[in-house]
Structure 1
């Protein structure tokens, strides 16, 4: 497992950093593809719960939010969100009135939650990268800090701290492999790296410290949130796209919140 994770990380990591630097469609298209694949995986998880979300509604709704995030000058995100939610509500009413589903409310709310997470929150991948100043630097800082926090938590929790302090589970029911030692190790490593990387990228060190703390302390909640959904659906991973890492949704569950936090912090500091 560790070898697979390492191979994927060191193969795709440099490519991802290069695409962040390039920006434009070189960045937009692959990130959009990952988010749409994550949407498909999310839809499959809801179906495993016995719900009946409509992927043919959810997928386009997520896509238009991502497009609105890339081209923010159009200011289409809010009206498109309203239209999408109304369509989802209409679909749920159609299911209920025709006795086509016993979970019409859950179907509607499940699609709405997916649109919010993968569409609106996901659009911050592009809102951050299209900032007027220091866009690629902030994007790279957010993503690398998240990756290193996750990797450090895995290594510390699995190989290092367990031999010294033992293994104290962070969330025994949701994610038995996550440990308190790994969380602390990831937080220390992630915050330290954020400060070092910010110095190299010429970003404000105070902002980097704040972002590092936010990412290391809060982004794991995104991971646990998706773990809750997977646990209820009876699966370990959302997919198999990335060997050793799981599916697209597994890869962005923390990252999606990190870029959103970075976006608003960067706006505040600018």
Structure 2
């Protein structure tokens, strides 16, 4: 895998500059009284959390591919734990969960890091889908069997399999591309996360028509359109650092941000079904790890497949 390359560093310099500006604007809004009470505290918590998250990402990018793979493996473990807490698991399911946490998860990331793409692509959606029901059925408890097994399988797909596609991008060697795959990972994370933030901003500024009120009351048509279009424009602006032409960057950014939105919507539907507001409280002001990964869960596999089909 390639080492950290300077374009990725410039992405993070830009993010830190944006965070400085956001911090100054937030402080001004709070001091002038335009934002106060719980809203002010939430805003401060969110910006503080972004400083920590971007700082951690910048650090692991400087440490190389192994650190990035390990970081997302730990994120997967935290996300899987969050998902498991809202499932209908019983004592008889503990063996299957233990295998999911301590065997399947590390093996998936080892396969990604060792650049064994065939087995990394098949481990969870084929072998684990066959193995986990066997482990559960041998316990002899059939009450809620389908629901319990399906929830564990779905948790592995979302929290481990899909997330592992992010470090898997680092294994790609695109002919004629002068930068490292680190830059492509940074591009994906920046565009998709920018879409999330911009959807929130546009929704607060212009949102009138609720998109899916029973799933996520805060999501609006205007917010979605403004966020996706703005983030796609960002993707186009960063096209010189990618192997894409400007129009290709725009289409790919539009695709991954759309899938990112759908991922967030589906994860919101799961939370509503279980009666929880956030997946957890690990990230102050943002909820849990899954609350931050929900967009990347759907967009990362699509982005990897686009690169594999179109540029390898």
TM-score (norm 1): 0.87
Q: Does 1:161 find its partner at 2:161?
A: no
Q: Does 1:61 find its partner at 2:76?
A: no
Q: Is the 8 A contact 1:41 1:239 kept in 2?
A: yes
CA positional deviation for 1:75: 4.1
Q: Which residue of structure 1 aligns with residue 135 of structure 2?
A: 91
My pick for the range that moved more, 61-70 or 137-146, is 61-70
SS in 2 for 1:228: helix
Distance (whole Å) between structure 2 residues aligned to residue 29 and residue 222 of structure 1: 23
Q: Is the 8 A contact 1:45 1:229 kept in 2?
A: no
SS in 2 for 1:241: coil
From the CA coordinates, give the structure whose radius of gyration is larger: 2
SS in 2 for 1:245: coil
My pick for the range that moved more, 123-132 or 234-243, is 123-132
CA positional deviation for 1:126: 1.7
RMSD of Structure 2 on Structure 1 (CA): 2.4
Q: Which residue of structure 1 aligns with residue 18 of structure 2?
A: none
Q: Which residue of structure 2 aligns with residue 214 of structure 1?
A: 255
Could you tell me which of 189, 196, 212 is aligned with 2:230? 189
Q: Which residue of structure 1 aligns with residue 188 of structure 2?
A: 142
Q: Which residue of structure 1 aligns with residue 220 of structure 2?
A: 179
Distance (whole Å) between structure 1 residues aligned to residue 60 and residue 165 of structure 2: 16
Distance (whole Å) between structure 1 residues aligned to residue 220 and residue 268 of structure 2: 15
**Cα gap change, 1:132/1:233 in structure 2, threshold over 3 Å: closer, same or farther?**
same
SS in 1 for 2:87: helix
Q: Is the 8 A contact 1:169 1:179 kept in 2?
A: yes
SS in 1 for 2:217: strand
Q: Does 1:27 find its partner at 2:73?
A: no
Could you tell me which of 237, 243, 251 is aligned with 1:203? 243
Q: Is the 8 A contact 1:46 1:52 kept in 2?
A: no
Q: Is the 8 A contact 1:69 1:126 kept in 2?
A: yes
Q: Is the 8 A contact 2:73 2:105 kept in 1?
A: no
Gaps (5+ residues) in structure 1? none
Q: Which residue of structure 2 aligns with residue 114 of structure 1?
A: 155
My pick for the range that moved more, 116-125 or 235-244, is 116-125
**Cα gap change, 1:228/1:74 in structure 2, threshold over 3 Å: closer, same or farther?**
closer
SS in 2 for 1:254: helix
**Cα gap change, 1:135/1:14 in structure 2, threshold over 3 Å: closer, same or farther?**
same
**Cα gap change, 1:138/1:21 in structure 2, threshold over 3 Å: closer, same or farther?**
farther
CA positional deviation for 1:176: 0.6
Q: Is the 8 A contact 1:153 1:186 kept in 2?
A: yes
Distance (whole Å) between structure 1 residues aligned to residue 62 and residue 236 of structure 2: 19
Q: Is the 8 A contact 2:108 2:123 kept in 1?
A: yes
**Cα gap change, 1:257/1:20 in structure 2, threshold over 3 Å: closer, same or farther?**
farther
TM-score (norm 2): 0.76
Q: Which residue of structure 2 aligns with residue 269 of structure 1?
A: 311
Q: Is the 8 A contact 1:157 1:181 kept in 2?
A: yes
Alignment coverage as a number of residue pairs? 261
